């Protein structure tokens, strides 16, 4: 009964398809108690279980997820997930949130189809995830989804949990803590790529404890210190904790570049300090990458942040020569670093067994390196630069089998004047950098 119009509502189940069913996991109890909710929930459940297939297929999918994508967003308890999984296909009252979670995990594992470059599938329409949108270059949807995730996290009070000492946090709250950090990290990575200094989530405090990693790729906890954002780079941290540290620096770079202060002297000093800090992380990130196979998430984001910092207007020199006092020289050195580990990245991307481990943040650093190498080749005419650029394109092609955004970067590289950062904005990027 529609209480406002005092009419009986009749709903045709056929009108609720994967394209029209809302994300019920985020609806409030008041909404779910409405008379029409049972019909919508039933149709959503039917669509969801059809997409997942069976409990065996879902278990196989989840094993792949926890051995790969999970390490990019280490926010779930694997043990708790498998405890709840059997009820998914047998209980009509299964938790909508858990059903949606399974769909998100399934979606994140989708690879681009060789015959169809579009990743706007019926599964994507049924349930979206931010990581999926970032990796496949679905903008501005990724930014909009990020804002929704950040607001939901804040409404759930996750921002209050992040600063509590680890000893005060119960095991069941650990997922919530890691979820806030995942929101924090993705928010800053997306803004780095978008060129937007307005974040959807608050900054982490330098004394906020870093989240412990979860899974076989994590390192043993440090016995004498409780790592925080301010923990020096020389200390060994797990993959997820390291990405949190780098994401914090990403946020500072984004604000510095896209929302600069009026004090030019202070601004230049801040740029120098940010570059020095990021560069101090670089050797360690490379070493950790080769030793522990973290699949380049933190490393590539560190490199992308440095490229963005060097390309900022305040760091541009009027000189067109590459001497050691110009940011152009710094970008050449940085791209050379990326070229040095290109064989490692190529081998990683070529291994089909590791495809699900590939970070969606790597293609941007590959693209930026290729841009610099192509410009150096045009300026100097030395074949080594063209060879390096071609190598980056080759690796991007391999990444495009996992993340569609890599193919879009390749297309951008073949444009007349590809910018160092994307999207190109006249107030920030100059095509006459070299």
Q: Give the position of tokens 């610099």.
A: 372
Q: Could you give the CA distance from residue 247 to residue 183 in angstroms, rounded to a whole number? A: 11
With 0-12 / 13-18 / 19 or more C-beta atoms within 10 angstroms meaning exposed / middle / buried, residue 65 is buried
Closest to 107 measured CA to CA, from 152, 69, 154, 156 = 69
Backbone CA torsion sign across 45, 51, 53, 58:
negative
CB 359 within 8 A of CB 300: yes
pLDDT score at 398: 94
Instruction: Give the SS3 label for residue 175.
Output: helix
Q: Could you give the CA distance from residue 282 to residue 36 in angstroms, rounded to a whole number? A: 55
pLDDT score at 386: 95
pLDDT digits (tens, 9 = 90+) for 122-144: 666 556 668 777 777 777 788 88
pLDDT score at 322: 42
CB 337 within 8 A of CB 287: no
Alpha carbons within 13 A on the beta-carbon side of 112: 23
- The residue ranking higher by pLDDT, 10 or 84, is 84
Number of neighbours of residue 273 by Cβ within 10 angstroms:
12
Mean local confidence (pLDDT), 289-316 = 80
Q: Which residues pair with 113 in a beta bridge?
A: 116
Whether pLDDT at 336 is above 50: yes
Q: Sorting pLDDT into bands at 50, 70 and 90, what band is 308?
A: very high
pLDDT digits (tens, 9 = 90+) for 160-174: 877 666 554 456 677
Q: Could you give the CA distance from residue 315 to residue 270 in angstroms, rounded to a whole number? A: 11
Lowest-confidence region among 186-195, 203-212, 249-258: 203-212
Q: Sorting pLDDT into bands at 50, 70 and 90, what band is 121?
A: low
Alpha carbons within 13 A on the beta-carbon side of 410: 17
Please give the model's pTM, rounded to 2 decimal places.
0.74
How are the residues of the chain apportioned to helix, strand and coil, as percentages rounded to the nearest 5?
60, 0, 40
Lowest-confidence region among 42-46, 220-224, 346-350: 220-224
Query: What mean pLDDT, rounded, does the chain reach?
Result: 76
């Amino acid at each position: 009964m529609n209480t406002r119009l005092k009419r009986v509502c009749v709903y045709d189940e056929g009108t609720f398809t994967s394209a029209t069913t809302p994300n019920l996991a985020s609806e409030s109890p008041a909404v779910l108690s409405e008379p029409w909710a049972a019909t919508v929930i039933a149709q959503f459940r039917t669509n969801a279980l059809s997409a997942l297939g069976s409990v065996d297929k879902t278990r196989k999918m989840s094993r792949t997820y926890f051995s790969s994508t999970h390490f990019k967003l280490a926010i779930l308890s694997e043990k708790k997930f498998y405890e709840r999984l059997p009820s998914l296909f047998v209980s009509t009252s299964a938790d909508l949130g858990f059903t949606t979670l399974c769909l998100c995990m399934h979606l994140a594992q989708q690879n681009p189809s060789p015959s169809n470059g579009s990743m706007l599938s019926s599964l994507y329409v049924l349930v979206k995830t931010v990581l999926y949108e970032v990796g496949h270059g679905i903008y501005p949807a990724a930014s909009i989804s990020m804002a929704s995730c950040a607001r939901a996290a804040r409404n759930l009070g996750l921002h209050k949990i992040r600063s509590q000492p680890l000893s005060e946090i119960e095991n069941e709250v650990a997922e919530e803590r890691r979820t806030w950090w995942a929101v924090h990290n993705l928010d800053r990575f997306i803004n780095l790529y978008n060129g937007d200094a307005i974040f959807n989530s608050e900054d982490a405090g330098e004394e906020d404890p870093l989240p412990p990693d979860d899974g076989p790729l994590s390192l043993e906890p440090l016995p004498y210190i409780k790592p925080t954002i301010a923990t020096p780079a020389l200390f060994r941290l797990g993959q997820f904790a390291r990405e949190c540290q780098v994401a914090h620096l990403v946020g500072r770079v984004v604000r510095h570049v896209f929302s600069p202060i009026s004090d030019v002297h202070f601004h230049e000093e801040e740029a120098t300090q940010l570059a020095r800090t990021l560069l101090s992380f670089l050797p360690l990130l490379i070493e950790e990458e080769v030793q522990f196979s973290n699949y380049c998430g933190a490393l590539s984001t560190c490199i992308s942040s440095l490229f963005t910092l060097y390309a900022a207007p305040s760091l541009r020199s009027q000189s067109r020569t590459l001497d050691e006092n110009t940011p152009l020289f710094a970008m050449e050195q940085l791209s050379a670093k990326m070229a040095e580990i290109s064989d490692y990245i190529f081998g990683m991307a070529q291994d089909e067994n590791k495809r699900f481990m590939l970070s969606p943040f790597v293609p941007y650093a590959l693209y930026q390196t290729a841009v610099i190498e192509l410009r150096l080749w045009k300026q100097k005419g030395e074949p080594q630069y063209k060879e390096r650029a071609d190598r980056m394109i080759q690796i991007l092609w391999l990444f495009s089998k996992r993340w569609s955004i890599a193919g879009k970067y390749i297309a951008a590289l073949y444009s007349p004047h590809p910018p160092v950062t994307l999207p190109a904005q006249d107030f920030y990027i100059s095509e006459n950098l070299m």
